[in-house]
Amino acid sequence: MTGPAIILLLAGLGAIAWVSARARAMRLQTVARATGRRDAVHSLPGYHGWYVALWTLIPAVIFLAIWANVAPGLVTQSVLADPAAQSLPLDGFSRSAILGEARAIASGDQAGAFNPLSQGLVEPYRAALNKYGVAGGVLALVLAFAGGAYAFTRVRPDFRARTRVERLVMASLLIASLIAIVTTVGIVASLLWESFRFFSMVNPIDFLFGTKWSPQSAAMGYGNDDAFGAVPLFWGTIFIGAIIAMIVAIPLGLMSAIYLTQYASPTVRKWMKPTLEMLAGVPTVVYGYFAALTIAPALRDFAVMIGIHGASSESALAAGLVMGVMIIPFVSSMADDSIAAVPQSMRDGSLAMGATTSETIRKVLIPAALPGVVGGVLLAVSRAIGETMIVVMAAGLAANMTLNPFASVTTVTTQIVQLLTGDQEFDSAKTLAAFALGLVLFIVTLLLNIVALRVVKKYREAYE
């Protein structure tokens, strides 16, 4: 029995369960109404329908999900028990290659065998697949029937089907949110685990405070531990994301927020705000090639013209400037929110004292909105240092510790990309270094986010 057929059958059973349970509940309702009590049936017929339908479907679906994971193992076992499997090589790698090929032929994904050994296993495979497929389907249908029948017997006037269905709705919503949390925990766990492996090869102190970054030489075997000193990467990240980008984004974002909230007429605001927010919708890769192909060469030419040494065609300034532009809508919308959250009465109070609009902004609105703005800036920094595409394309790979914005620097995210692309052995220090870098980045952005949200929240409380 094939998967789609079973699913169709189950859906049909569910529909039948819903209709029949609902019909039964309606009949009960009619009978109960005849006695004159309108609350004689606790739940509406629809809830009884759902209750029975869910009992029909959920156990069967859960069983199928488990079966899908268990069945392949059972199939392989029964194939190995077949006499034709006796001649298989004992070496695990070629063994599983042959088994895989046999399975592919048996299930029709592959036309012919390259290895004669697998040809002999096709038939046992086909038989086993068939056997367990049918068994699974039948078991699922039996479960569906059993569940449906059990639930159907419970359709009685005083049965609280509504409460049960509501509880299930709540449970499924809870599961949905748990999935996101569990995924996050899983990601963090894998980061921690791989980082731990890395730190068993490289001293954490050397990693966090070393100033020489050269993973290639370490991987080739002619470097030393110093090659994993990540300070140049941290510096590059901060230089681009927290310094240059913020020098662009903070004043521009803040000023545009002030203009939009305080000066712009409703018409101007109506088209300017969405246009500004469009910046946030531009894919970062587009910013990336804008930085790499337009800004960076122009900056290099400019640097050469004014006689700056060490100007590179990939520069911290190009990446930082473009990243700053990318962050503008972020800063501006956070600043917009916090300025708008300052009560109108505060603004009126200042204006009524004879303050001008700009005095009111400078002396009342900005100080009152400052915590919110600071929180927004911290969030923007955490976004900027995690940003990858722009720096990969425009910042370069040279791990320089320089204050010259026209020089090439590299960032944590750029190096992660570098370390994980290409043919690498997974358990080399070079590859694992990417996880350690990721962990550092994760911890820093997490802290920034926590602090920023705290600041924003505390400030919101002051006015509500």
Residues that bind another protein (CB under 8 A): 265-266, 343, 345-356, 359, 363-364, 367-368, 462
Q: Dihedral of CA 321/322/323/325: which sign?
A: positive
Cβ closer to another protein: 363 or 454?
Answer: 363
Cβ closer to another protein: 360 or 413?
Answer: 360
> Residue 259 Cβ, how far from another protein at the closest point, in Å?
15
Cβ closer to another protein: 71 or 368?
Answer: 368
Cα–Cα distance measured from residue 146 to residue 136, given in angstroms and rounded to the nearest whole number:
15
Cα–Cα distance measured from residue 335 to residue 342, given in angstroms and rounded to the nearest whole number:
11
Q: Please state the φ and ψ torsions of residue 213, each to the nearest 5 degrees.
A: -115, 110
> Residue 462 Cβ, how far from another protein at the closest point, in Å?
7
Cα–Cα distance measured from residue 212 to residue 198, given in angstroms and rounded to the nearest whole number:
17
> Residue 254 Cβ, how far from another protein at the closest point, in Å?
19
Cβ closer to another protein: 53 or 368?
Answer: 368
Question: Phi-psi category of 434—alpha, beta or left, where left has phi over 0 and alpha has psi -120 to 50?
Answer: alpha
Cβ closer to another protein: 131 or 460?
Answer: 460
Comparing CA positions, the residue from 368, 371, 378 lying closest to residue 331 is 378
Cβ closer to another protein: 167 or 363?
Answer: 363
Measure Cα distances from 172 to 58, 139, 179, 442 in Å: 12, 25, 11, 30
> Residue 365 Cβ, how far from another protein at the closest point, in Å?
10
Identify the H or E element spanning 260.
Answer: none
Cβ closer to another protein: 350 or 404?
Answer: 350
> Residue 421 Cβ, how far from another protein at the closest point, in Å?
51
> Residue 336 Cβ, how far from another protein at the closest point, in Å?
18
Tokens of 107: 């299930």
Cα–Cα distance measured from residue 166 to residue 46, given in angstroms and rounded to the nearest whole number:
12
Q: Which amino acid is at 63?
A: F
Cα–Cα distance measured from residue 245 to residue 318, given in angstroms and rounded to the nearest whole number:
10
> Residue 272 Cβ, how far from another protein at the closest point, in Å?
16
Cα–Cα distance measured from residue 14 to residue 148, given in angstroms and rounded to the nearest whole number:
8
